[in-house]
A = this chain, B = another copy of it.
Amino acid sequence: MRLACAQLNYKIGDFAGNYEKIAAAITQYAQKADLLIFSELCLSGYTPYDLMLRNDFITIQNKIIHQIQALTKALDIAVVIGCVEINKGKGKPFHNSLQLIKGDILFTYHKRLLPMYNIFNEARYFTPGKEPGIVEFQNKRLGFLICEDGWADLASELYEASPIDDLVNQNLDVIICINGSPSNIGKQEERIQNFTAIAKKCKAPLLFTNQVGGNDDIVYDGGSFIVDKTGQLIGSLKQFTEDAGVVSLNNKTFTQIQNFVDTPALTESALFYEQIILGLKDYVQKCGFKHVVIGESGGIDSAVTTALAVKALGSDNVHALAMPSRYSSKSSVTDAMLLCKNLQVKCQTVSIEAEFTLALSQFTKNYHEAPLAITEQNSQARLRGRLLMEYANQTGALVLSTGNKSEMSVGYTTLYGDMTGGFNLIGDLYKTDVYALARYFNHVNPDTLIPENIFTKAPSAELALNQQDTDALPPYEILDPILKLYIEGDLLSPTEIKQYTEILESISPNLIAKVHDMVDKAEFKRRQSAPIVRVQRRAFGFGRQLPIAATYPKL
């Protein structure tokens, strides 16, 4: 039997567009494979959220399934798709399902473990299936898993059912696991470790398929892979791009392997780089934008944002606005200019000085008092926000906001100021991650360098005379470990925890508590943030649900 696997980039809810991609793959592989495997909820893309609850959703989806049935019949190929099925019993209205189709729907399997943590919310929609996913097809015994089903052994405390154990001693010829598995640091390594163990435990070769592409804040990396029956990884499809592979399956062994290759693990910075670029590319394309505009401060955050945007969209589709005020150092503008020159990005200088001067004098005239430092500082940021939005309104560009995770954590950021924007590339990168990513960018793009001075100068918001970030915050080498432990400490590896804890050994508990308090108090700002490309294990957004008007309990 020839198996093929297509990892495609779906647009959420776009049944017609997604069907086109699926049909093209079916047509392309009809001669080359007996069974072509897609990913979880491939018809709607993972995940459609409350679109699933709309009256028309199932009707439209099922029309697409009928088209797939007809196509597979005409081309004499079987497919495995992921789709939403109506639950006929008690519970939530749907199942998260898998169908084996060749003209007819030959077999249906319902996902049994429904993740309810971090960004996952499947029990809002689905009822767990109860039956193991085993079927005989063309003289092969196929075992099926859908995404979370395959993590049963690592999350055995969470679930009563054991979909993996149900595939043990079943004399399976192959295990097929379809996924909508988001990318974050360490994820592909965790997948490989976990699914190689499953193949070994079940003594069957295994094929893991994933979707690829950015859907709002969540990016799927593809990286579909195959494992032999002893639990050895054979190879992977590419990460962060559409790809497909074909193998022959005989005697529980994959042979004649096409496109599944040995893929070294990405470094953290390389992962951030690939993931953010794809996330932006897809957000822009799927929302119908063409180009973006970025406020260019001369600092590392806007520099990295601009550099990544150029890689995602091309320099013609990236516009920079340098918006200096009296507090901007000379090098801010020259660094921004040099950066844009290196990246071949058009950078326009639009001083806010005249407007800032008027704003200050109007304020004093209206209120008969001078603005406080906080008022004056935020007003500059908000003037810049308005200028960016004027450019966006005039040209149809998407504004990229440039707050990093360190700033967003402690609220060192201005609502409607530097938080202005429809999408944020680096909001899940701590400041030290931003520097590392910038270094990586220069390493892989030696012809379009982020200027050295942007790395070496002290970070500053430049909203007051000689202001530096360290006036208000601990140095980032200290701040970031505090934040990492506080925000995602429960999800880090023991090595990471040890590393960060050691850095903090000499730091006063008062300072650490003060930082925690800043994080808690900034929740109201994050609630109004643009979507942030998620790259760490816990990003701000849906995966971290916290109240605003609250006391955050502490011992």
Contacts and interface: CB of A to CB of B under 8 A. Distances in A.
A57 B553 contact: yes
A439 interface: no
A57 to B, nearest CB: 6
A12 interface: yes
Interface residues of A, number: 90
A137 interface: no
A416 B375 contact: no
A358, A383, A416, A547 — which one has the most chain B CB atoms within 10 A of its CB?
A547
Given A56-B555, A366-B348, A378-B393, A49 B549 contact: no
A454 to B, nearest CB: 24
A11 B12 CA distance: 38
A547 B117 contact: no
A11 B550 contact: yes
Contacts of A530: 527-528
Contacts of A116: 92, 123-124
Contacts of A348: 366
A121 B531 CA distance: 21
A372 interface: yes
A547 B389 contact: no
A416 B389 contact: yes
Contact of A215 (B17, B359, B378, B547): B547
A371 to B, nearest CB: 6
A86 to B, nearest CB: 12
A363 B117 CA distance: 47
B50 A11 contact: no
A51, A59, A156 — which one has the most chain B CB atoms within 10 A of its CB?
A51
A547 B355 contact: no
A59 B416 CA distance: 39
A350 interface: yes
Contact of A551 (B11, B359, B386): B11
A49 B13 CA distance: 29
Contacts of A527: 530-531
